[in-house]
């Protein structure tokens, strides 16, 4: 894995995933260190000014009218971080904390925040040492930045609070820093503020959610193809000329995937002749490209927003390139919050369609000759009856998670911060939603694989056969009822780790 250079320009989404999930090491570029030093000089020139400057010689938020004397300014920065490290609830995942620290460092590297080079370097050192501050589920309103999550990270750089070391052991930050040979940072004017004013928590989660959904969307197409095939559906509705009549790019990509996945299927070919009396398939089969395509187009928009945010330097106040120090509202999380909520809606819709396709397999009135619930001996055996219940429970939860967080706002800081984005909450529920979608798609693949086996001696397409073969390495084919939970969990990992997708793409090539 290449070392990632954090410079004055934007990180890529791939950079964020590499550092957050895979522990890639990073360095601060020489250009970034130069810009940091240049803007720091601007802040130091203001430190002795008799005119108050927000974040340098004043209090914060509703307390911004208080002028802070020189001998109290170091305490001001420490007090800011300590008081804002007010999170509560379960610990946030390590990858989320690493992503938000990296993204805060990326903004520091632009030279627009006025921190000292050693403060920026402290973030890089913490990440490279694998030290992860303990950040809690609750505390951010998504405005004035992800204040509490970022404050817990700043607290660790100061040598205070709790962290987990590279081995995951919980310990005081001071002990972890000492063990890694790192020195706690004493914050100077404006630095505490610069470390907590950003959308980094919600943005990091958006970037990782987008990466997960890119893979899941292709896997959902695989599950759908298996269902179309197993339910004796037609692939003719996915033809490119029909899709071109409604030229949404995501729809075209999904339809092209379905066509490729179903190519050379003996099952599909078996009912193409005039003896087949079915005029058209149910919506859950026929309209797959329209629903899956909508999610793709939504994701494309979300990725555009993420790219813009990755290119942003968010702080308040900022040091402009011409040396001014200006207040602004760029820390408001609205752009990120809205697309996080939008993605949660698409996730719920994808899962809902997947559950409906699965349910059709289990009903003898709709499954075209298969046993009830795909059971070996219906009545004695229940087959996949309760697997669909599991799907249904998850889908119901996903519908609740699709209710947008970003429409809510609770005023804070004595009405100074009177409209907030709730973007952190939107990000947290999207992570849960993506986990749910993964499980729903996995159950569809597990169920469709059983149905394809039951269509023997007719054979599935080479692509879907490869997916079934990968599943069968650990999950037996049709038979009497077995302990089903471990099989579902294997299917979940098969999907989540990208192995189902890799199996299909070993035949089709890269899907769109």
What pLDDT score was predicted for residue 56?
74
Give the three-state DSSP class for 261: helix
**239 pLDDT higher than 70:** yes
Tell me what the mean pLDDT of segment 275-299 comes to.
91
| Average pLDDT over every residue of 475-498 | 97
Q: How far apart are CA 136 and CA 86, in angstroms?
A: 9
Please report, rounded to a whole number, the percentage of residues in the chain having pLDDT higher than 90. Answer: 87
- Residue 479: CB atoms within 10 Å: 10
- Of the pLDDT bands very low, low, confident and very high (cuts 50, 70, 90), residue 1 is low
pTM of the model: 0.95
Domains and CATH numbers, the chain: 4-198 (1.10.275.10), 205-508 (1.20.200.10)
Q: 54 an active-site residue?
A: yes
What is the pLDDT, as a whole number, of residue 275? 66
Q: Strand ranges (DSSP E) for 315-379?
A: 318-319, 325-326
Residue 216, Cβ density class (10 Å: 0-12 exposed, 13-18 middle, ≥19 buried): buried
Which residues make beta-bridge pairs with 130?
none
pLDDT digits (tens, 9 = 90+) for 211-230: 999 999 999 999 999 999 99
Per the residue annotation, which of 54, 123, 283, 389 is the catalytic one?
Answer: 54
The residue-averaged pLDDT of 24-33 equals 97
In this prediction, residue 418 has a pLDDT band, given cuts at 50, 70 and 90, of confident
What pLDDT sits at residue 488?
98
Calculate mean pLDDT across residues 72-96.
92
Average the pLDDT over 276-289 and give the result.
88
Does residue 67 surpass a pLDDT of 80?
A: no
Least confident range of 51-60, 82-91, 244-253, 458-467: 51-60
Ramachandran category for residue 7: left, alpha or beta (phi over 0 → left; psi -120 to 50 → alpha):
beta
pLDDT one-digit tens code per residue, 133-148: 999 999 999 888 899 9
Residue-wise pLDDT tens digits, 154-210: 999 999 999 999 999 999 999 999 999 999 999 998 999 999 999 999 999 999 999
b (16+ CB within 10 A) / e for 483-508: ebeebbebbbebbbeebbbebbbebb
Pairing of strands 170-172, 318-319: unpaired
Interatomic CA distance for residues 429 and 405, integer angstroms: 9
pLDDT value of residue 157: 98
Judged against a pLDDT cut of 90, whether residue 59 lies above it is answered with no
Q: What is the mean pLDDT of the chain?
A: 94
* Position 53 pLDDT exceeds 80: no
What CA–CA distance (Å, rounded) separates 441 from 358?
Answer: 9
């Amino acid at each position: 894995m290449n070392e990632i250079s954090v410079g004055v320009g934007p990180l890529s989404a791939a950079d964020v995933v590499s550092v957050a999930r895979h522990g890639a090491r990073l360095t601060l570029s020489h250009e970034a260190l130069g810009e940091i030093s240049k803007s720091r000089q601007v802040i130091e020139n203001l430190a002795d000014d008799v005119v108050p400057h927000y974040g340098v010689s004043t209090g914060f938020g509703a307390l911004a009218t208080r002028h802070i004397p020189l001998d109290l300014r170091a305490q001001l920065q420490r007090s800011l971080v300590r008081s804002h490290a007010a999170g509560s609830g379960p610990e946030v995942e390590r990858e989320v904390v690493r992503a938000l620290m990296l993204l805060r460092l990326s903004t520091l590297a632009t030279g627009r925040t006025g921190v000292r080079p050693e403060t920026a370097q402290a973030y890089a050192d913490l990440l490279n040492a694998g030290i992860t501050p303990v950040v809690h589920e609750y505390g951010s309103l998504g405005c004035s930045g992800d204040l509490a999550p970022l404050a817990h990270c700043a607290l660790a750089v100061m040598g205070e609070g709790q962290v987990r070391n590279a081995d995951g052991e919980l310990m005081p930050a001071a002990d972890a820093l000492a063990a890694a040979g790192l020195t706690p940072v004493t914050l100077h004017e404006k630095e505490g503020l610069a470390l907590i004013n950003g959308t980094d928590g919600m943005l990091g989660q958006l970037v990782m959610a987008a990466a997960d959904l890119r893979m899941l969307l292709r896997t959902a197409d695989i599950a759908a193809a298996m269902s179309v095939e197993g339910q004796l559906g037609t692939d003719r509705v996915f033809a490119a000329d029909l899709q071109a009549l409604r030229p949404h790019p995501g729809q075209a990509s999904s339809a092209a995937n379905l066509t490729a996945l179903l190519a050379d299927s003996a099952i599909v070919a078996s009912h193409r002749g005039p003896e087949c009396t079915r005029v058209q398939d149910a919506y859950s089969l026929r309209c797959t490209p329209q629903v899956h395509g909508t999610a793709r187009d939504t994701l494309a928009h979300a990725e555009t927003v993420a790219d813009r945010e990755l290119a942003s330097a968010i702080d308040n106040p900022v040091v402009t390139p011409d040396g001014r120090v200006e207040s602004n509202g760029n820390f408001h999380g609205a752009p990120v919050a809205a697309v996080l909520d939008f993605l949660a809606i698409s996730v719920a819709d994808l899962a809902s369609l997947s559950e409906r396709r699965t349910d059709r397999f289990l009903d003898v009135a709709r499954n075209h000759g298969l046993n009830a619930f795909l059971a070996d001996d219906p009545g004695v055996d229940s087959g996949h009856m309760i697997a669909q219940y599991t799907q249904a429970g998850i889908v119901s939860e996903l519908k609740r998670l699709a209710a947008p967080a970003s429409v809510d706002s609770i005023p804070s800081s004595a009405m100074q911060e009177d409209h907030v984005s709730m973007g952190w909450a939107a990000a947290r529920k999207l992570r849960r939603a993506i986990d749910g979608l993964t499980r729903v798609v996995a159950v569809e693949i597990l169920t469709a694989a059983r149905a394809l086996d039951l269509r023997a001696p007719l054979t599935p397409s080479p692509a879907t056969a490869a997916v079934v073969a990968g599943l069968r390495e650990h999950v037996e084919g049709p038979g009497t009822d077995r302990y089903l939970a471990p099989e579902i969990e294997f299917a979940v990992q098969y999907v989540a780790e990208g192995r189902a997708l890799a199996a299909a793409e070993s035949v089709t090539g890269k899907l769109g």
